[in-house]
Amino acid sequence: MRYPLLALTLLALAPSLPVHAEESELGRRTPSELRTLVDRVTGRPLTVLTAGPSNDQKNYQTHPQWAADGVHIIFRSPDRNPARTPQAYAVNEVTGAITQLTSGPGNETGSLNVARLSNRLYYQRTGPDARQQVVELELTPLLADSAAGTVKSASDYERVLATLPADFKGAGGFTLDADERTAYFGVRLADGPPREPGKPIPQVPGGIRAVDLNTGTCRTVIDTPWLMGHVQANPWVPGEILYCNETGGDAPQRMWLVQADGSGNRPLFAEAPSDWVTHEVFVDRDTVLFNLMGHTPELRLRPTGIQSIHLRTNEVLPLGQTARGQGFWHCNATPDGRWAVGDNFDGEVFLINRHSGEIRLVSTGHVMKPDHTHPNFSPDGTRILVQSGMLSGGTSLDLMLIPVPETAAP
């Protein structure tokens, strides 16, 4: 085996709780799958949140993962429910109980938006007229009723806030504004040819659309001559949107910043021809982290690794690079400016102390398939959430928590 063996300790499993008698799977609860692994390379314990045969995927690292109640972690799976349809779920970090949050066909779970200001979830669903709807789900009553075995109909927990235009084609996901009154959607304005294996994604015009969550009205923020990707609103500053030119590889100029009224559109970190920028993410009101790729010998002839850029001054500060594997790939950080996290192509996860510059290997063996680890910090900065192919050998994903070492230097 490529990775060292891991010691496995099975924790007590929570009992299965009753579900409502309707055909809908809304609120269906399944027992805890909590387990503890010990990494023999780092000695760190890992908490396994999901460990079944299903393919359980976390939100992308640009979006929140923890519900506002601080207890539930939201995730998606295409095959966890009996109907084997894509649905959203919540796992209780304390008890391990898993609750199904959506039910039925047509739910778009690739871009789940967990609210920060309320205990709600926002997602897209294909409506009866085949148009995309924006749905708001109240988590508090649904989770309480699920625990009590008294789940009601879906209309008691969710409401349709908007119906998107008939010609809507998503590209780059959607995101909630900092005040959570508006959602911003990446769109594709034309269809292109299929992507050829090993080639960049064919470029077609794209854009961003703003949807008022009170009125349902839709307006244009910006149009671009190339494919839209990774749309994310600044979680601390209303009306500020980060997006990218999505190529599936190296874009000539990847990162862009625009205001919600379409003004101020500008490249963020003007790239040199030899720069390969990827995986940008807001980490505080004024800072974006991104990675300068160093996975080839040619790229390593210049500085690479995780970087921060200040949105107001454009100052760029390097956080560091690892010599292990092919270097860093994804990144994230705590808003207090203390910690950053990065992974590499070998499924290893590193904690970076932004005060001292120390880079510490904290977890190994996460098998970067069928998808990457996409690390997020918990809201209090004490745990790192990843999705891992470790238990399945890369055939499916599970959710795992990595504790931030208590002895890490201040």
Task: Using a cut of 0.85, tell me whether the model's pTM lies above it.
Answer: yes
Residue 23's pLDDT is 66
List b or e across 116-131, with b for residues whose CB sees 16 or more CB atoms inside 10 angstroms: beebbbbbbbeeeeee
> What's the pLDDT score for residue 406?
74
Instruction: Tell me the mean pLDDT in the region 266-271.
Output: 98
Task: Give a three-class secondary structure readout of 167-233.
Answer: CCCEEEEEEECCCCCEEEEEEECCCCCCCCCCCCCCCCCEEEEEEECCCCCEEEEEEECCCEEEEEE
Lowest mean pLDDT among 10-19, 25-34, 240-249, 391-400: 10-19
* pLDDT at 410 > cutoff 80: no
The confidence band for 301, taking pLDDT boundaries of 50, 70 and 90, is: very high
Q: What is the DSSP letter of 151?
A: -
Do residues 74 and 88 make contact, with C-beta atoms less than 8 angstroms apart? yes
For residue 36, name the pLDDT band (cuts at 50, 70, 90).
very high
What domains does the chain contain, in order, with CATH numbers?
1-163 (2.130.10.10), 165-268 (2.120.10.30), 276-384 (2.120.10.60)
Neighbours of 246 (CB within 10 A): 22
Q: In what order do the strands lie in the sheet with 35-38?
A: 7-10, 35-38, 45-48, 398-403, 383-388, 376-377
Q: For residue 218, list its beta bridge partners.
A: 211
- Mean predicted lDDT score pLDDT of the chain: 93
The residue assigned the tokens 């900065």 is 381
pLDDT tens per residue across span 280-300 = 999 999 999 999 999 999 999
Phi/psi for 35 (5° steps) reads -145, 160
Residue in the block written with tokens 């009553």 = 141
Predicted pLDDT at 52? 84
